[in-house]
Structure 1
Amino acid sequence: MNSRRFVQITAALMFGCFSLGSFAQTASCNKTVYLTFDTGNMSVAKQVDQILKRQNVKATFFLANEKTYRGDYALEDSWKPFWQQLAKEGHHFGSHTYDHDYFVKDGPKGQVFEKSQFGPKAGQTVLYNEATMCKQIRRVDQRFQEMTDQPLQKIWRAPGGKVSPTLVRIGDMCGYQHIAWASAGFLGDELNSDKYPNSVLLEKASRELKDGDITMAHLGIWSRKDPWAPAVLEQLIVNLKQRSFCFGLLPK
C-alpha cells in the first residue's frame, strides 16, 4: 500500500471515530442544559461562536443594541455578518430590549418605570406604558429580521433579569415569553475576576448545574479583567457532556 493511500485510510478511520464519539455523546445524554448569551460588549463574541461550532453545540442569544468594544453598537450593520452567521448555524435568538432598558419599579395603571442604558433617553428613568415597552422588545425583532431575513423566537429577557409580575405580563401581552435563568445558571462572567477567578466559576458551574437549568453569560463584559470566555466556556461544555448533558434551545 502506498503512503498516500495509507494516509487517506487513516484519515477516514479517524473521522469515523470522531463521528461515532459525537453520536455516542448525543445518544447517551439524558439531561438538558440551555446555554444563553446576552450581547454585552461583544469582545468575545467570535470566540464564543468558534467554541460552539467546535463542540457542535447550539445556544440562545438575547440581543440589545449595546455599545461594543469596537465603539460601535451590536445591532449596527457592522455586526450584520456575525448575526447572519449565527442564524445560519441554527442558533436561537430573543430580544434583550433595544436600548437595554432596566426595570426600576412598577408604575401606576399597569405601567413600569424603566431606565435605558443606551439610546436617546440613556440614563433617564421613564414611565413606559404597554405600547412603549412592546416597542422596545419588538424593535430588536424588526432589526434582526432586517439583518438576517428571519424573526426572533418569541422570547425576551429583561436586562439584569430584573422584572415584576407587571413587566412579565406586559411581555406576554406583546407576544414574548420572558426567559430568566437558574441560580446555578448564573455563570459569573460579570463578577470581579480577582474574587471569582475562572477556575472557581468553572468548578462551580460544572458541579451545580442540573437537568433543565438555563445558564446566562455575555458575549463580552466591561466589568471583568480576566475574561470568562473562552477560558471557562469550552471546558464547561466538555464537563457537562461528561455528565451526560445535552444542550437545548429556547423556548423549551
Structure 2
Amino acid sequence: MHRRNALSVIAAGACPISAAARKHAEDGDKAIYLSFDTGHMGIAPFVAEVLRRQQVPVTFFAAHERTQQGDGCLGEYWAPWWRERAREGHAFASHTWQHAVWRADLPPAHGQPRFRIQPGAGPHAGQRLVWSAREYCADIRRAAERLAELTGVAALALYRAPGGKTSPALLAAAARCGYRHVGWSRAGFLGDELPSERYPNDALLAQALRDVRPGDILLAHLGIWSRKDPWAPAVLEPLISGLKARGLRFRTLREHPEHAPWIAAHAGAGAA
C-alpha cells in the first residue's frame, strides 16, 4: 500500500475539523495539543525527561495495559511516575481500563444499548465480549478513578477509545455518563504505531513538521510493542523544537476551546 494511503487508513480515528477548531486557528491562537496514550511504558522515562526539559505540558490517556516492567500502566510500579507527571502540571484522562476496543453495535437489551467489545488488557484480553452501556461506562470510569488515586488530580471528563474506534451509539452512551470522546487531528497522527521498516522516523518527523497546524491534537504512545525502531528517542524532541520554532505553543486539552466547556460542566466525572 502507498505510504500516504496507509496513513489515511490507519488515521481513520482522526476527528473532523470542527467549527471550534477553525475559529481557534482564525483567531491566531497558536496552541497545539500533544497527547500520549499508554503502551508498554518502556520509553515513559525518556518521554518524561524530554517534556520536562522542553517545558511542554501534555494530556495522558491511560489504560491498565501490560508493560515491559511492573504490574501494568496503572499498577503500583508506575505510581511514582504518574505522581511526578501530576506535579509537573500535565493532564490525565481515561483510555478505558481494559483498553476496550469497540467492534460493533448490538441490538439493545432491556432498554440498554449493547456493544461488542474486545479488551486488549486484563483477564479477557483478546476475547470478544458483549457489554452494556453501563459496563462500558464503568470501564471508562475505572481508569479515570485510578488516575485520580495515583496523581491526586481529578482526571478530565474526556476519554479516548482505543484505536479511535467508536460508533454514534457508543459515543452517546459515554456522553450520558459524563465522558466526551477525544480523537486526534489528521495531521496529528504521528505514526509511532506504524512499522518502522515502512515508516522510518525521519519521514514521520518531516511529515509532522510540515503538516501540523494550530489547533491540532497530536497523538503518540508510551511504547509500541511492534515497532522495531522506537519513535520517541529519534523524533520527540526534534518535533517539539521544530514546532516551537514555527511559533506553536503546547497546551493540555483542559485548555482546548472545544473541550474546556464540557470539562467544566462535568468536573466530577473523572474524580476519585
Give the TM-score range, shorter chain. Answer: 0.7 to 0.9
Task: State which of 215, 231, 234 in structure 2 corresponds to 1:231.
Answer: 234
Which structure 2 residue ranges, 5 or more long, are not aligned? 1-27, 257-272
1:35 counterpart residue number: 34
* Contact preservation (8 Å) 2:70, 2:78: no
**What secondary structure is seen at the aligned counterpart in 1 of 2:141?**
helix
**3-state secondary structure, aligned to 1:152:** coil
Residue 130 in structure 1 maps to residue 133 in structure 2 = yes
TM-score (norm 1): 0.86
Structure 1 match to 2:78? 79
The SS at the match of 2:61 is strand
Match for residue 173 of structure 2? 170
Q: Which structure has the larger Rg?
A: 1
Secondary structure in structure 2 of the residue aligned to 1:33: strand
Report how far residue 65 of structure 1 moved: 0.4
Q: Which amino acid in the other structure matches residue 89 of structure 1?
A: E
Question: Counterpart in 1 of 2:57?
Answer: 58
Alignment match of 1:250 (pick from 242, 253, 256): 253
What is the distance in 2 between the residues matched to 1:108 and 1:227?
41
C-alpha distance in 2, partners of 1:128/1:240?
41
SS in 2 for 1:35: strand
Matched with 1:200 is 203
Rounded to whole Å, the distance in 2 between the matches of 1:146 and 1:249 is 20
Gaps of 5+ in 1: 1-28
Fraction of identical pairs, as percent: 48
Cα distance in 2 for residues equivalent to 1:144 and 1:75: 7
Structure 1 counterpart of 2:117: 114
What amino acid is the match of 2:54? Answer: Q
Two-structure CA RMSD over aligned residues (Å): 1.2
Secondary structure at 2:102 match in 1? strand
Aligned residue number for residue 67 of structure 1? 66
- Contact 2:114–2:132, Cα closer than 8 Å, also in 1: yes
> 1:88 maps to which residue?
87
The answer to whether the 8 Å contact 1:41/1:68 transfers is: yes
Aligned partner of 2:152 among 125, 146, 149: 149
In the TM superposition, what is the alpha-carbon distance from 1:31 to its structure 2 partner?
1.2
Is the contact made by 1:42 and 1:220 (CA closer than 8 Å) also made in structure 2?
yes
CA contact (8 A) 2:65 2:122 kept: no
